Amino acid sequence: MTKETATRAAVNLLSVVLIAGCSGITDAGDTMAPSVTTISPANAAVGVLINSVLTITFSEPMSATTVNASSVTVTPAAGGAAIAGSVTYDAPSRTATFTPLQPFSYGASYTLTVTTAASDVAGNAIAANVVATFTAIQKVFDKPYFQGTNAITNSSQPQVHVHIRFTQNGQTLGRPSDCERLPLANCSMLPRNGAGLSAMGSLDDQGAAATITQVSGTFTDPTISFTFTLANGRTFSFTGIVTNSDTMTGTLAGATLPGIQIILSRIPAPEP
């Protein structure tokens, strides 16, 4: 081999390497099927925010043209048409993203499917459809309102009655602006015994109830925590679990109230 021949061969080899590196031809010998390494939200996740985007990460670079709305679909678990959304693929992170055109429905379950139409840059399809399910966060804090009284075993224990309504924006809870005073009293706290009255302090509404003037909290389905403030400035916090869309169970406490166990239930109709 002459020096010129050797140089030409080296240049040709370098060209092949460069071309392969830029076009993926190096995967021509790849026969291994790609796989899905992570899905977000994870399979069987609950409490998924309704405006979530879904992501799927693959084990190797994928052919962007095969990762699309045909190979990545989301359907209601209860059946029905596929959820409309856009699918994009980010090559550096090997991640596909599904962005729904409309928010998911509160409390609804969905199935995410990555089909075998998705293939890597060498043309190897994933071995089998990958399926994951998730459930969107519940919409529980709606009208009419929740109410409850803590149980006591003797009259020395504070007993109070709480009527409370919320606004819900994803995980964030607040106080509706249209809360009503007595007799409906759907943002109110009422004493049930002397110890409860001492814990509450002065009553502003008809001398019978304290108006809840502020509410803020977080719902991370099923865990809920919120703080409310009475018109007299006293503040109480509730931490608990939403056991179903009509009941929350937890502990209510404040500077003047030792922790009490209370169940707040959605009333069936405007103020009983």
Residues within the interface to another protein (CB under 8 A): 148-149, 151-155, 159, 161, 182-185, 190-194, 197, 203, 206-209, 246-247, 263, 265-269, 271-272
Q: Name the minimum Å distance from CB 195 to another protein.
A: 10
Ordered DSSP codes for 146-181: EEEE---SSTTS--EEEEE--EEETTEEE--TT---
Q: Name the minimum Å distance from CB 188 to another protein.
A: 10
Q: φ, ψ for residue 199 (rounded to 5)?
A: -65, -35
Q: Name the minimum Å distance from CB 213 to another protein.
A: 18
CB 34 within 8 A of CB 124: yes
Q: Name the minimum Å distance from CB 207 to another protein.
A: 6
- 253 vs 267, beta carbon nearer another protein: 267
Q: Name the minimum Å distance from CB 271 to another protein.
A: 6
- 66 vs 147, beta carbon nearer another protein: 147
CB atoms within 10 A of CB 226: 22
Residue among 95, 44, 91, 89 nearest 68 (CA): 89
Question: Which residues fall within 8 angstroms of residue 69, CB to CB, at 6 or more apart?
Answer: 85, 86, 87
Q: Name the minimum Å distance from CB 246 to another protein.
A: 7
Residue among 49, 57, 182 nearest 105 (CA): 49
- 136 vs 185, beta carbon nearer another protein: 185
- 109 vs 265, beta carbon nearer another protein: 265
- 83 vs 264, beta carbon nearer another protein: 264
- 66 vs 159, beta carbon nearer another protein: 159
Q: Name the minimum Å distance from CB 229 to another protein.
A: 19
Write 95-99 long-range contacts (CB < 8 A, 24+): 95/55, 95/56, 95/57, 95/58, 96/55, 96/56, 96/57, 96/58, 96/62, 96/67, 96/72, 97/53, 97/54, 97/55, 97/56, 98/53, 98/54, 98/55, 98/56, 98/72, 98/74, 99/53
- 67 vs 264, beta carbon nearer another protein: 264
Cα Rg of the chain, angstroms: 29
